[in-house]
C-alpha cells in the first residue's frame, strides 16, 4: 500500500502562508493534495455554492484553486479532483483563532466538517494570532497529530478543532468548546451616493470561565484540541421537550422509536 493521501484546504486562500507551511510539514506524512479557495473567504462556515457553477484551476501539480468555499473545495476534491478517496482532510492553518462558538462561523472548521460528512477523518487547525506570525510550530504539530489520526482514526462523525497559541506552545491538551457572551458591533456609514451601508465587525466577547475550555488552554499557552461532533442535538433535554408534544399537535404524540444511548 502506498502513502496516505491527505487533502489540505483552508479559508484564507490557496496562496496563504498558513496552508503552505501546513503542506510542507504534512509532506513527511503522506501524499498531499491541495484544493483550496482562490481567495480569502473567511467566515463562510460550511456554505456550498449552488447558484452558479464552480471552476477549479490547476495551478501546479497536486494544487487546485477553486472559486468557492472550503466546503465546495472538499466536495469537489472528493468527488472529482483527487485520484482516490483521501485518508485525511486537514483544513488550515488559519490565521486567527477559531474558539468557542466561532466553530459555527469558521470556514476552516466548515471545510473539516465537510470532510467528516463524507466519512473522512478531518482536522481543522488555527493559529491564534492575527498579525504576521510563525506558522512553523502549528505546522509541526499538525503533522504529528495527523500521523496519530492516520494510525488510530477518529470516532464516527467526529472531527478535531485545533487552536495553537502564538510562540512556542507549552504542550497540548484535550478541551471542550468554550462559551462566551457576545456583544455585536456594526459600523454604519454613507457611501459616495449617500446610501447607508453597514459593516459587521467582530464585536466584543466575554468568555465564560471554564478551565477545561479551548480559550482557557490557548490563553495559558497550550494547544487546544476539541473533539466536535456533527450531531448538534441537545440530547439531555429531549425528554423534557417531548412533554410538549400533545400541546403542539392534535393531542397524539408520535410514538417514540428506539432510544439512542445518552437520551
Question: Tens digit of pLDDT for each residue in 225-254?
Answer: 999 999 999 999 999 999 998 899 865 555
Q: Tell me which of 64 and 258 has the higher pLDDT.
A: 64
Peptide bond into 140 cis (omega under 30): no
Supply φ then ψ for residue 173, to 5 degrees.
-135, 150
The count of C-alpha atoms lying within 13 angstroms of the C-alpha of 134, restricted to the half-sphere facing its C-beta, is 8
Between β-strands 56-60 and 223-229, what pairing exists: parallel, antiparallel or unpaired? Answer: unpaired
For the chain, which residues make up each domain, given as ranges? Answer: 5-176+207-232
Instruction: Give me the pLDDT at residue 182, please.
Output: 72
pLDDT confidence of 261, banded at 50, 70, 90?
low
pTM of full prediction above 0.85: yes
Cα 230 from chain centre: 12
Is residue 35 scored above 80 in pLDDT?
yes
User: So what CATH class is 5-176+207-232?
Assistant: alpha beta
Instruction: Give me the pLDDT at residue 262, please.
Output: 53
* Among 147, 187, 159, 169, CA closest to 46: 159
- pLDDT 10s digits, 124-181: 999 999 777 899 999 999 999 999 999 999 999 999 999 999 999 999 999 999 988 7
pLDDT confidence of 255, banded at 50, 70, 90?
low
- pLDDT 10s digits, 80-125: 999 999 999 999 999 999 999 999 999 999 999 999 999 999 999 9
Instruction: Give me the pLDDT at residue 253, please.
Output: 54
Q: What is the 3-state secondary structure (H, E, C) of the chain?
A: CCCCEEEEECCCCCCCHHHHHHHHHHCCCCEEEEEEECCCCCCCCCCCCCCCCCCEEEEECCEEEECCCHHHHHHHHHHHHCCCCCCEEEEEEEECCCCHHHHHCCHHHHHHHHHHHCCCCEEEEEECCCCCCCCHHHHHHHHHHHHHHHHHCCCCCEEEEEEECCCCCCCEEECECCCEEEEEEEEEEECCCCCEEEEEEEEEEEECCCCCEHHHHHHCCCEEEEEEECCCCCHHHHHHHHCCHHHHCCCCCCCCCCCCCCC
Instruction: Give me the pLDDT at residue 137, please.
Output: 96
Q: Tell me which of 201 and 193 has the higher pLDDT.
A: 193
Amino acid at each position: 500500500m502506498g502513502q496516505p493521501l491527505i487533502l489540505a484546504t483552508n479559508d484564507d486562500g490557496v496562496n496563504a502562508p498558513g496552508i503552505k507551511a501546513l503542506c510542507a510539514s504534512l509532506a513527511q506524512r503522506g501524499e498531499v493534495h491541495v484544493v483550496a479557495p482562490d481567495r480569502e473567504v473567511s467566515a463562510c462556515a460550511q456554505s456550498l455554492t449552488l447558484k452558479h457553477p464552480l471552476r477549479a484551476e490547476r495551478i501546479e501539480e497536486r494544487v487546485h484553486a477553486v472559486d468557492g468555499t472550503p466546503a465546495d473545495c472538499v466536495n469537489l476534491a472528493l468527488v472529482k479532483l483527487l485520484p482516490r478517496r483521501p485518508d485525511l482532510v486537514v483544513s488550515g492553518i488559519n490565521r486567527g483563532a477559531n474558539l468557542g462558538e466561532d466553530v459555527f462561523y469558521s470556514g476552516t472548521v466548515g471545510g473539516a466538517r465537510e470532510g467528516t460528512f463524507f466519512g473522512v477523518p478531518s482536522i481543522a487547525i488555527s493559529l491564534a494570532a492575527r498579525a504576521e506570525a510563525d506558522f512553523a510550530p502549528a505546522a509541526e504539530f499538525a503533522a504529528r497529530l495527523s500521523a496519530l489520526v492516520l494510525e488510530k482514526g477518529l470516532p464516527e462523525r467526529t472531527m478535531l478543532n485545533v487552536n495553537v497559541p502564538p510562540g512556542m506552545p507549552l504542550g497540548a491538551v484535550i478541551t471542550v468548546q468554550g462559551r462566551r457572551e457576545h456583544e455585536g458591533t456594526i459600523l454604519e456609514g454613507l457611501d459616495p451616493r449617500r446610501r447607508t451601508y453597514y459593516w459587521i465587525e467582530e464585536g466584543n466577547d466575554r468568555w465564560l470561565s471554564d478551565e477545561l475550555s479551548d480559550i482557557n488552554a490557548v490563553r495559558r499557552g497550550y494547544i487546544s484540541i476539541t473533539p466536535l461532533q456533527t450531531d448538534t442535538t441537545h440530547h439531555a433535554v429531549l425528554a423534557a421537550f417531548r412533554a410538549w408534544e400533545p400541546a403542539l399537535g392534535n393531542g397524539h404524540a408520535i410514538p417514540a422509536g428506539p432510544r439512542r444511548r445518552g437520551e
